[in-house]
Structure 1
Amino acid sequence: MIARLIKKYCSFLTYVFWGGVATLVNIGTFMVSIHLGIHYQMGNVIAWLLATLVTYLSNKFLVFHSGYHGVQQMLRELSSFLCARSLALLMDFVIIWTGISLLRYPALAVKIFDNVVVGILNYLVSKWVIFSEK
């Protein structure tokens, strides 16, 4: 029974693991940037770039097993991924700005909340739009 559940939810569990790795990269980079005196929104962009690289590679090859099916398919997939992640970055900006500048919550708490919200939406878009079998 447990083996059946693991098999059924394997891509989700793998996504959660690699999403955790990307989240650690994102939050770690963000906090180091703040510690170095970089403005929190610039640190957010740097963190987003590194986490997006980790996420694309892990999603493509380890989570959704998309593989390589030619340059055209790869470019379509990559452009869809970057477009969706760019929209997620806009949401990221709003959440970070609202939490830190308006509500004055601690940066780490806001970033963790932000990663949960954006991570759930990114999973849904990746599974059903970007890496889906069409």
Structure 2
Amino acid sequence: MLSNPHISCLIVCGKESEHFAGQSLLSLAENGVSTFGGPKKIVGSEGVIPYLNEIPATAISRFLREIEVIDLVGITDPSVIQQAIDSCSRKERNEAPELFMPEIDENSWKKYESQVKQNVMSKIKRE
């Protein structure tokens, strides 16, 4: 998203996943990340793996400054989503310098396995 200056909005819409990906993106946009003595965790995220350790702090900061996040979680009506798309279509960001982004694959989450288990167990205990 950051490498393409034609992208200025992220529309989070549709049915929320059981991993709370939409809620996590909205929390990121609203609250940012906590970096106090540990992993970069999305503040307020209900996701099982709300960590952005692989993403450089400069990229997170630019995302928060330059990308408008539009909350349409739960909305599936194409006309409502199209209106949101149209509201973003005339916005453009300045050309941005390239950022080094690490490779993330299907096994990247495994480094958070103990934290995921702890998060899941704490959610089960609350219920």
TM-score (norm 2): 0.26
Higher strand share: 2
Q: Which has the higher helix share?
A: 1
